[in-house]
Every structure is written in C-alpha cells, then in structure tokens.
Amino acid sequence: MSDWSAKQPNGRSSAGRGQRGGDGSHRGAGSGGGRRSPRQHSGTASASKRGKKRRWGRGIGITVLLVLLLVVGLVVYVDSSLQRTDALADYPGRVEDTPGTNWLLVGSDSREGLDESRREELSAGDAGGRRTDTMMLLHIPSGGGEPVLVSLPRDSSVPIPGHGRAKLNAAFAFGGPRLLVRTVETVTGVRMDHYAEIGLGGFASLVKSVGGVEMCLDEPLEDPKAGVDLPAGCQQLDGAQALGFVRSRAYAEGDLQRVENQRKLLGALIDKTTSPATLLNPFRTVPLVSAAGDTFLVDNGDHVWHLAGLAGAMGDVSGGQGLSGTVPIAGFGTLHGQSVVRWDSQRASRLFEAIAADREVSERLLG
C-alpha cells in the first residue's frame, strides 16, 4: 500500500509532486508579489504615458501663458509709450458723427528730439515749430467694404476757422492738431474718429526698424533740399532716403506728385511691417515696437489696438483691396502771393458726401 501510494503511474512520487507543488505554490506567491502580469504592465505603462501627457500639457500651458503675458505686457508698454494730444476736441457747430471709421493721418516736419547730427543726417534743417508735410483721410466702412485713402495736398486752398482762406497746412501752424482736425471736418463734412501724427525722425526710425523698404522709381530723383539722390529703378531705401523721397517736391507737378509718392511709400512700409519676415523676427519686431511707441502722436482716446486696425486697413489699400488717390483737383492758383492747389469742388463734394454717408466710393471721384 505504501509503495503504491508513494508512486504514481508516471513514476513520480506523490510526495515529491506535492513538495514541488508546495514549492510551486510558494514560487507562485512570490511571483505574484515580484513579477507583474501583462495586465499590470499595461496599466503601469498607461499611467506613465498619462503622467508624461500631463507634464507635456502643463508645459504647453505654461508656455502659452508666458506668451500671452508677454504679448499683453508688450501691448501695455507700447500703449503707455504713445504720445497723446487732445486733437478731437469738440467745438461749436461740429459735424455730427458719421458712419464708418475715419482717420486723419498727419506727417509733420517737427524736428523735436533731433540733435544736430541727426538733423544733418536727415537733411531736416533748423526750422522750428511743427508744420504738416502730409495729410491723408482714411475711411474704413462699417460694413466691411473697401477702405478709401484720400491725400489732402498741403497747399490746398481752404477756409480755416478764424483765419480766413489759406493753405491747409497753415491750419496746423496756426492751431496744431485741433485746428487742423476742425478745418478738415469743416471742408469735407466728414467727422474724424481717430488722429495719428508722425514726425521726421519717427518716420525714418520706422523705416530703419524694418530694414528699409523697396521702391521703384521711373526716373532719377535728385533733390538737395530733401537730401536725396536716387537713381531710376527698383532699390532699397533706408530711413533717411525714404524720408527724402516722401518730402521731395522736385517734380513738375510739385505737391501732387509728392502725395502720390507718400501713399506709395506708406503702402510699402505697411507691407513690410506686417509681413511674416518682420513679425516673426525679434530683431525686427522689438525695434519696430520700440520705434512705434516713441513715434506716434495720437488723440487722447486712441490706443495701440486702434493703430493695429489702422495698419490692417492700410494693408488692404496697399494690397489692392481698397482705393487710394488724391482729392479731385481743378488746377493751381495763387493766394497771398503763394501758389496753391484748388479742389474740383463738385467732384470733391460727391467724394466726401459718399464717405460721410458710408457709401461705396467710385474710383472716378478720386484724383
């Protein structure tokens, strides 16, 4: 009985099998504590992946937050550095609010902040005070239509409140931005919503900050008064050259050709400023932001986000998605012994009536 019970048919003893079974059970227990099953391995790997994803998510979130803080900080810095003036102050009999958004853009010949060497570099001369070399009215339709940019020649003969008839730029000389805004509103019937002014040095700094702008000239331009000597053809203009180009009146049509050059170069500057090559390059963006903050003089109610909207509309105009031209001109004349530009009153009235009513402007109305 003992021999039969001690051996199984396969020749192994039941005791031995029981012992192995006991060892196996012991090893099985040990294995259960020290070696993970495939399901346990899968769960651990999934938890590890989830942990990595959470860490990546936190990293991305922190990065996005830092970028947002940087952008907000940059916007606050630029907005706080803008120079401001009460250009859009109310006055008796002011034009009622007109639909759409209207900007008065002014380029002044102010030498403020320019030392002697900088004046010499820009051929700015020694004239004191502030006068206007450039005046443009930009209308942005309320319904998302095409913006319209209209140059107002500085030599335009217009009535200036309290000063009789004189050149348009005299309004700025007599009473600064407030009288200029009032004069433009009076002669156009269009109410201004925003005001932006830039001086000689600021304009040159903006061009320099984006690495210059490309312009194509049909003929050479040599003007010692503006400090510019440019050959015909396409070329890259630096800050001083660009300033000389928009200031020069060395043309048969004088101021009329100059305002066309001003629109052309302003469009090229906006294109360069808003291009990815500039916006994605910190060596361009940082100087540009710094220059913009120190350069613009705006109304007390204007902010940097308004300037962003202005840049967008100007970009549309330069990109062919808007209209640009000069107020219709009837010819030239004299006033107080000086040559002046006379508007075509009928076409000009139709142009500004369309703008004031926020209607589509026909290209035929522009000069």
Nearest to 221 by CA among 239, 198, 246, 190: 246
Instruction: Say what the pTM is.
Output: 0.74
Query: pLDDT at position 74, please?
Result: 67
Alpha-carbon Rg of the chain, whole angstroms?
A: 36
pLDDT at 121 over 50: no
Tally of CB atoms within 10 A around 308? 12
pLDDT at 278 over 80: no
Residue 11's alpha-carbon distances to 14, 19, 23, 25, in angstroms, are 9, 15, 20, 22
pLDDT at 204 over 90: no
Nearest to 167 by CA among 179, 177, 153: 153
Which residue ranges make up each domain of the chain? 88-365
Give the pLDDT band (50/70/90) at residue 4. very low
Tally of CB atoms within 10 A around 149? 25
Give the pLDDT band (50/70/90) at residue 315. confident
Nearest to 108 by CA among 85, 89, 90, 76: 85
Give the pLDDT band (50/70/90) at residue 117. low
Query: pLDDT at position 38, please?
Result: 56
Contact between 218 and 317 under an 8 Å Cβ cutoff? The reply is no
- Is the model more confident about 186 or about 296? 186
Distance CA 299, CA 197 (A): 9
Q: Which tens digit of pLDDT belongs to each residue from 125-139? A: 444 556 687 899 999
How many contiguous H segments (helices) and E segments (strands) does the chain have? 12, 15
CATH number for the domain whose boundaries are 88-365: 3.40.630.190
State both tokens at 142.
């309320």
Q: Which tens digit of pLDDT belongs to each residue from 19-54? A: 444 444 444 444 445 555 555 555 566 656 665 566
pLDDT at 185 over 80: yes
Query: pLDDT at position 274, please?
Result: 79
Q: Which tens digit of pLDDT belongs to each residue from 317-364? A: 888 889 999 999 999 999 989 999 999 999 999 999 999 999 999 999
